[in-house]
Amino acid sequence: MTAGHPVQAVIFDLDGTLIDSEPNYYLADRELLARYGVDYSETDNLRYVGVGSLYMMQDIVARHGLDADPAAMTAEKNALYLEIAEHTTRAFPAMLAFLDRLAARRIPVAVASGSSLEVVRRLLAAVGLGDTFAQVVSAEEVPRGKPAPDVFLETARRLGAAPARCVVVEDACPGVEAALDAGMRCIAVPTLTAPPLPPPFARAGLLFPEGMAGFDPERAMAWVEALRVP
């Protein structure tokens, strides 16, 4: 994106980016997989941060040789997760402040998530963001989840925005890779901040290496505004 090439939209990942959901996902995954005889640890969970639920279940079925349907497991996980999360999940205050700044400048915003569409919509409603986004897209609506760029490209298409004129906000390595492969600029706010960060984070246009603890909505807005200057 060059000077004189204004931003048409900002696309947010949901889990770990807009909302503090990763701990609740781990609890749901652990309870679900115990039903299938799989001992699921926090170390195991690191493998799946930032990837879609269906892909995760496909991988677990293959790794553990389970006689189970990944799609059915995903639906079971979603139900468990909503039981846990719908009344306890919160939006990150700094991200709410960033959304306010984007709204003040009338920059359209969207969500592109690896979670199911029902989960995304219900969690957005639960944290008071149900009517905030011009588009809400699930990776389950496209052929491939992150790190493939499909969900971001589909979101841009629905917005009527050129990918090169979109900015993505992401917390996980697969999402950063997906954004960059979609030809979009990326603001990276890692959930997992232990150094060294995976190489894709270094390619983000704006990186907050301390994660949400260091995220500055004013700095993020200034960076987006600078892309809009002719």
- For 33-102, the DSSP string reads HHHTT----HHHHHTTTTS-HHHHHHHHHHHHT--S-HHHHHHHHHHHHHHHHTTT--B-HHHHHHHHHH
The answer to whether residues 56 and 104 belong to one domain is no
Tell me, yes or no, if 13 is annotated catalytic. Answer: yes
Whether 137 and 119 have beta carbons less than 8 Å apart is answered as no
Interatomic CA distance for residues 205 and 136, integer angstroms: 23
Q: Which of 61, 85, 109 is the last residue of a domain?
A: 85
Longest Cα–Cα distance in the chain: 58
Residue 4 domain flag = no
What are 72-99's pLDDT values in tens digits?
999 999 999 899 888 889 999 999 999 9
Whether 94 and 217 have beta carbons less than 8 Å apart is answered as yes
Q: What percent of the chain has pLDDT over 70?
A: 97
Structural domain containing residue 131: 9-20+90-228
What is the pLDDT confidence band of residue 157, given thresholds at 50, 70 and 90? very high
Q: What percent of the chain has pLDDT over 90?
A: 83
Q: Which of 85, 120, 135 is the last residue of a domain?
A: 85
What are 170-215's pLDDT values in tens digits?
999 999 999 999 999 999 999 989 899 999 999 999 999 999 999 9
Is the pLDDT assigned to residue 3 strictly greater than 80?
A: no
**How does strand 206-207 pair with strand 135-138?**
unpaired
pTM, rounded to two decimals:
0.84
Q: At what angle do helices 70-85 and 22-35 cross, to 10 degrees?
A: 130
Count how many Cα atoms sit within 13 Å of the Cα of residue 77 in the half-sphere of its side chain: 26
The CB density around residue 149, as the number of other CB atoms within 10 Å, is 22
Q: Report how many domains make up the chain.
A: 2
From 13, 15, 20, 171, active-site residue: 13
Residue 186 domain flag = yes
The answer to whether residues 62 and 109 belong to one domain is no
The CB density around residue 218, as the number of other CB atoms within 10 Å, is 11
Could you tell me the CATH number of the domain that includes residue 114?
3.40.50.1000
Residue 112 domain flag = yes
The answer to whether residues 130 and 155 belong to one domain is yes
What is the pLDDT confidence band of residue 52, given thresholds at 50, 70 and 90? confident
**pLDDT confidence of residue 1:** 44
Could you tell me the CATH number of the domain that includes residue 74?
1.10.150
The answer to whether residues 57 and 97 belong to one domain is no
